[in-house]
Amino acid sequence: MNVCVIRKCKTADAKLENYKMQGIVDQRLSVISRFGESVRYYRKQRHLTQEELALLCDFNQHYISNIERGTRNISLRVISVLARALGVRERDLL
């Protein structure tokens, strides 16, 4: 049983390395990071704190912080809510 677990980990690691070589992982992470940077940019343009934006969106301030730092993978619904709160189009955030 332990052999299978170890074997699966090695397989997962190999897949991850393969994805990294193809740029898939880096590309996904860069999209999330760029989105977070856009949210931060528009939030600051409107002179909003993270807490104020969170209140407008009915989110938690920590959630906004995670989005801006690129550590949170969000849904399309969240993109729509953020865009509406910031007064921009969804595509402006991407």
Please state the pTM of the whole predicted model: 0.69
If phi > 0 it is left, if psi is from -120 to 50 it is alpha, else beta; for residue 48 that is beta
Distances in Å between the Cα of 61 and the Cα atoms of 36, 49, 51, 54, 90 are 14, 9, 5, 5, 20
Instruction: Compute the average pLDDT of residues 7-25.
Output: 53
Longest dimension (CA), the chain: 56
pLDDT the model gives residue 58? 95
Instruction: Compute the average pLDDT of residues 73-94.
Output: 94
What tens digit of pLDDT does each residue of 24-78 get? 555 556 888 899 999 999 999 999 999 999 999 999 999 999 999 998 889 999 9
pLDDT the model gives residue 13? 53
